[in-house]
Structure 1
């Protein structure tokens, strides 16, 4: 009950902040995701359920998200993968230099790092045009790939809320998620998941998270040589697979697939 009360207090606080001109509260958060008939809190925003979002696979863990309001976002941005798009917003995680840069183009208006400074977790909650961007921190391996040593809050799951869609990027995730993570994430209609099975989380662990989130669209990334069949075999028949020859697709809330679908874009 204390956990539920805390969630309610957090949401009421966010609503008050919105009234004071701060970023509006998330439309994707569940008040109690683990409870039956969980109710997703929804506060109307002008961009809700309007327009399409275009998603392009640029390479490695970088997806380019373009909104109807002409905001361009690049995830896990190192500068190496841009797909020819000049981003307005970049998100980063610092597992390796392929996921961040310390010298981003100064013309990028919003550089969002998934790690904090001075031992504090990163905290992002901002509106950029028609998109609300927030993060949920997770731990990261402190010494290369030593799974026994974790640096607290070293990675961020970034969540982009636009056109009524909840889009999540798991970053360089190194450990299973617990109930507090799922509650903080809320609903994800589209999720980008690393499926290398070694450098991040194991395939068993990543597939468990993917099944739990049960997003309408799953976009693999960070694949390397992992056979797609190995990932699909762990989905227990709960997801369709859609292999495409294009690097981009456009989607709205109304065009989400009826059955959860893993979409493999060209280059993945």
Structure 2
């Protein structure tokens, strides 16, 4: 896909779907004793982290084109994170209910293989997170035919571009009004 996997040392690795461009990167991000959860729906706790997997699809055809996708909701230090994975459709009311309250939402915005900017905006309005982190968009060096982050940001308020691939969030720093944080990748 034109990019190199980042090095990391994760204790828990959540894999939303089994495509080569995602599941193949475990060796780059997992510690030797990491817990690796691949496409797992349901509720459980791993290493003190509450995790919920909500089944969804990688396309608008109930998985017929690209298969399934698991949305992961997890809580750390009282903050609820939701990673939509490679979501390819607008959430159903049942999925919204199972996801529940969200403080930090990771949402794909690039389209083609996932929801696009318009779909991402609709999902943000449905889930009403405190912080939105757009993902799965075109950056330099990426060879996939997807859109950049700009169409998603168009007309949005409260956008912060961070010159880092990391962003610290605490319960105390969660904004009252939804904030979009664009990380440097």
Give the TM-score normalised by the residue count of structure 1.
Answer: 0.58
Structure with max Cα Rg:
1
Instruction: Answer yes or no: is 1:150 the counterpart of 2:150.
Output: no
Instruction: Answer yes or no: is 1:202 the counterpart of 2:116.
Output: yes
Give the match for residue 110 of structure 1: 35
> Secondary structure of the equivalent of 1:88?
strand
8 Å CA contact 1:138, 1:153 repeated in 2? no
Give the match for residue 86 of structure 2: 172
8 Å CA contact 1:135, 1:157 repeated in 2? yes
**Number of residue pairs matched?**
173
Give the match for residue 125 of structure 1: 43
Give the match for residue 142 of structure 2: none
Give the alignment partner of residue 58 of structure 2, picking from 140, 150, 157.
140
Give the match for residue 24 of structure 2: 101
Give the match for residue 166 of structure 2: 248
Tell me which protein shows more strand as a share of its residues: 2
Structure 1 CA distance for aligned equivalents of residues 34 and 162 of structure 2: 32
Give the alignment partner of residue 14 of structure 2, picking from 91, 97, 106.
91
Structure 1 CA distance for aligned equivalents of residues 107 and 16 of structure 2: 14
Q: How far is the alpha carbon of 1:148 from its aligned partner?
A: 4.2
Deviates more, 1:257-266 or 1:168-177: 257-266
Structure 1 CA distance for aligned equivalents of residues 133 and 63 of structure 2: 26
Residues 249 and 149 (structure 1 numbering): CA distance in 2 closer, same or farther, change over 3 Å? closer
Q: How far is the alpha carbon of 1:156 from its aligned partner?
A: 0.4
> Secondary structure of the equivalent of 1:206?
helix
Deviation by residue 1:206-259 (Cα, 9 ceiling, x = unmatched) = 2100122121110011111534331122xx64x410011122121111111222
Give the TM-score normalised by the residue count of structure 2.
Answer: 0.81
Residues 249 and 230 (structure 1 numbering): CA distance in 2 closer, same or farther, change over 3 Å? same
Give the alignment partner of residue 151 of structure 2, picking from 225, 230, 248.
230
> Secondary structure of the equivalent of 1:223?
coil
> Secondary structure of the equivalent of 2:32?
coil
Structure 1 CA distance for aligned equivalents of residues 23 and 74 of structure 2: 18
User: Structure 1, unaligned stretches of length 5 or more?
Assistant: 1-59, 61-79, 115-121, 142-146
